[in-house]
A and B are shown apart, each in its own frame.
Chain A
């Protein structure tokens, strides 16, 4: 094996280590998260938000999403305040009807207007 070839391999390993370091430094391990996974309308309509930094936030698809200027945005890395809120319990949901179409005797789901 020539010295040049060995040097090339060394560079390759260095790049691999560098890439690993970049992955470690990148918030939220970006390559493993889908970017189009924002809360659907039915989720928004049936789920209570958490208010954080002056915005309603929705926990969906393993991340916090919020509206900004008519577009959905999200945090790559979960803020500590939101993490604590999430650990307090599941989002309050409101179930309007069971999926098979027969009206429920009474509605289940979240407390109206309840804060998580």
Chain B
């Protein structure tokens, strides 16, 4: 039996209205979101999440190995991506080279330390006196970086526009934040092995027994590394930022700069040395050769990425 379904005229109207409302909702939402996404979607060449991760990992690794100029190095690195105009480029490039030239004694000291460590690892004979002297040279060289770089920093302030100065300060703060994350485990006494050991474990194919021995050695060795006063560095960076954003800037007035640079570079040097001293004795000859090669590569490359 066929039952004819009778609908009241008003119900029919409602049915039509439901259809209309649904279509309208969909159409409006599509127009709204489609229009927004057409503007919001990046072009094919824009940075993707994976790009960000890879570049971030590279920067983290960089900050794990290079400390020689202290905060001045962070300023110099910030010039790499300041986005200045073509007209400004020659002047800023000259300042960037000048900054790196002023940091050269500290970079060379860091390179000497790496060479001492690499030679010691390769020969299975790390001389503590020589290593300590190399660490002291890094710290001493970093302590005079700021004084040597004040003219370049003042010139940089003059060359940049206020928005560019603000961008530079943002970048210095961002580099400092990344530096802290990169070295967080190693500044934390509760976790002395840090991610550097994890990376080495993979790269050199360390056995679990080797890892355990290194970890034990690190626990003892790191006690000799002076603690880094992060607040001292943060205070200096804040002082630099406040001053650099201002209309008038005099780098000579930043009295905490030399101490901050020396402590940052000195901590980095001491930490690297004690890490190597803990790792070296448990390596096989092949692993020592590979480890020494890696140290040499980083020392040659320790120009801050700006050549």
The residues of A with any CB-CB pair to B shorter than 8 Å are 1, 3, 6, 9-10, 13-14, 16-17, 19-21, 23-29, 32-33, 40-51, 54-56, 59-60, 62-63, 67, 77-78, 83, 86-87, 89-104, 106-107, 109-110, 112-116
Contacts and interface: CB of A to CB of B under 8 A. Distances in A.
A112 B79 contact: yes
Interface of chain B: mostly helix, strand, loop or mixed: helix
Contacts of B35: 29
Contact of A45 (B18, B33, B96, B174): B174
A90 B301 contact: no
B10 A93 contact: no
Nearest to B78: A45
Given A44-B174, A94-B80, A112-B93, A99 B36 contact: no
A56 B174 CA distance: 14
Given A24-B31, A95-B54, 17 more contacts: A9-B18, A21-B28, A25-B32, A41-B178, A42-B56, A44-B174, A45-B174, A47-B47, A89-B43, A96-B305, A102-B294, A103-B65, A110-B80, A110-B81, A113-B81, A113-B96, A115-B86
A46 B53 CA distance: 11
Contacts of B29: 20, 23-24
B158 interface: no
A49 B61 contact: no
Place the interface of chain B in its size category: 35 or more
Interface stretch (B164-172, B221-229, B268-276, B279-287): B164-172
Contacts of B79: 112-113
Contacts of A44: 170-171, 174
Contacts of B235: none
Contact of A48 (B39, B61, B62, B81): B81
Nearest to B298: A103
B125 interface: no
A78 B25 CA distance: 24
B175 interface: yes
B37 interface: yes
B248 interface: no
A113 B80 contact: yes
B5 interface: no
Contacts of B43: 86-87, 89-90
Interface string B45-86: 111000111111111111001000000000001111111111
9 contacts: A17-B21, A33-B40, A41-B173, A43-B52, A95-B58, A96-B305, A99-B54, A103-B297, A112-B79
A101 B29 CA distance: 47
Contact of B45 (A21, A43, A89, A98): A89
Given A93-B47, A97-B61, A83 B39 contact: yes
B306 interface: yes
A101 B61 contact: yes
Interface string B153-184: 00000000111101100110111011001000
Contacts of B96: 112-113
Contacts of A103: 65, 297-298, 300-301
A13 B93 CA distance: 63
Contact of B36 (A77, A86, A107, A110): A77
A33 B79 CA distance: 32
Contact of A54 (B61, B163, B175, B178): B163
Given A67-B170, A113-B83, A60 B47 contact: yes
A45 B73 CA distance: 13
Contacts of B42: 59, 62, 86
Contact of B163 (A1, A55, A62, A63): A55
